[in-house]
Structure 1
């Protein structure tokens, strides 16, 4: 569609696993033509071999048919063109050069040093296309770091400090359930890429956009002044409740849990009225925020006793009637089927490109709604090398004999 924000832009996608492919997924959703380059010698993106798989018989932990596809690839590969190219083969350099020459963006998430060894680092690519925006997503920055090693999400969570922000005081570290390090860095990478594209339009020069998973996640940890809390004697880890914002936290109901956020005087009074405790609204123990924080455990115990006697729906109705922010705690299955996020296409159904909806699956959509642009991830995930002919013949102008020769020598 020509009314998409990045329509007409071409992205060379050299990414694998999650962090890189999520960045290029978002760029595809914004309208860019994303050409995913995969190594035919290794079976392509590692995500193609992530269980479970979806096929004509539905979901399974292992492949039962040749066209079964990993759910991971079905999700991350949408809207992309897949070509095969073995960048370790010397003959690939000509093909790679032709791809890069007409591109606007290249995104890679190799370990530090790999692009240099392959001869496709920023310095080399800049010689081919000075306007190109070259985006690197890595664990510790494009230059790596002391003992950087492989950047797995749990490693990044551990080093960022985020594991010690949740859980009970003195308790074990808590791993965030989502691969938050893998998902956060690509967001910054997209912001950086689009910003660099805008600058390139003005200056005519591309640049290297360098995003580290550790830096992205640690920067968010630093958004909350944990060191200040520690200095004044406040617990950095408070479990389900947040005493410094009392009443605030996760409370048990008779049929599940609710989230309550009532840090202001008006919200706190609303909680007490919802409980039928008007007698406490002007009580000097709870009237001001400082008083509530001083007696946070006592106040949370009082509210908790009330919540445990009622179902979630009734608690939420009573609290919202008083203008108090509160919500039921959902599980992921329920949350991704909320009509609100479905209607806004922030979450969309996930289907197999050949067999359709053989299972009830959900996938990330584009969680940005534009008033004058149509964005989305409607194109299905490609099979490995599905678009070789379209890209190499139609885009680069190779003839059938050249393509057949490259394929015979396993260059593509």
Structure 2
């Protein structure tokens, strides 16, 4: 436990979020066991003290802020791998372990956990926000990859949401209820995860397009072709320019798609050739692909470091990162409509999308001490949210979650769904 101001300030301010901290926690605690978490929560419930669970602090929508002070429960000391069940292809872990750390442990066994959000994300936080990442198009989101949880409820009681069986029709699906609840229903203390075999072979491809709509159309056509692509990532010309500046690259500064194909060597190559044909039918050019391990890492490094590349253009700026999602058939329309608004703005805005599942992000760069720029960023953010919600079955967040940043638009999101149900 600590009441040190610097520690409390660190835990109370946004680490990766543009949302301002209005307060900081009164105390930060570092439990090392489920029983300690239960005692902390039970005491907080008795004295009506607010609680904020805290993991890797990589979330973007202000999830770890403490607007009412209270207790910050830092779960990072609970990071043990409790059991690895190779024949069942599952693993039981504590919430504080990072997904990258977990995958380092799993690699010698030929297994991996496929979700890949921000590099510092922890498994508990990934469950709480129902995260996903670039591999969700193939492996699904956190909802699809968690088998069972242990959770400390608001009164301190400990519950187990299921068994290690891969499926069950016995009673309510409490596991899925907890996934995405963002700490509002309980504190996650143990997670059983579904694992995957490391792919035998993979090919990474990149292709350029004259317009962002062409690129989005190819992403849609690829998914409709039935190809089991594992990643489809889209970047606009502004994002590619940022990558060139940050990495000393000389990539064509045009809308770009990146793909990954996995399977046997023959199958991965066959998929690559099919997508190359699809791209050529939609004005695609400069189709290149890599099979060498280092070349593939270099290509994905470009995408993984996209956010940090943005700061090469505006080193002292902050980034406002949007997150909307629509049915795949509406993605090209959403991106095209948003792109017109972004290009007409005075702010520098880049487009990045998990184009294989309709999830679309914009990085909006603004000077933190310029209130007018912040307001313009918020206007653009709201424009994209409202545009997505206006499309049938669109959502205000595909993977970042609600946090403190999207509480108001969550209500709008739910009202929109209610209107669809009643018509």
TM exceeds 0.5? Answer: no
Instruction: Work out which of the two has the higher radius of gyration on C-alpha atoms and give 1 or 2.
Output: 1
Length-normalised TM-score, structure 2:
0.30
Length-normalised TM-score, structure 1:
0.31
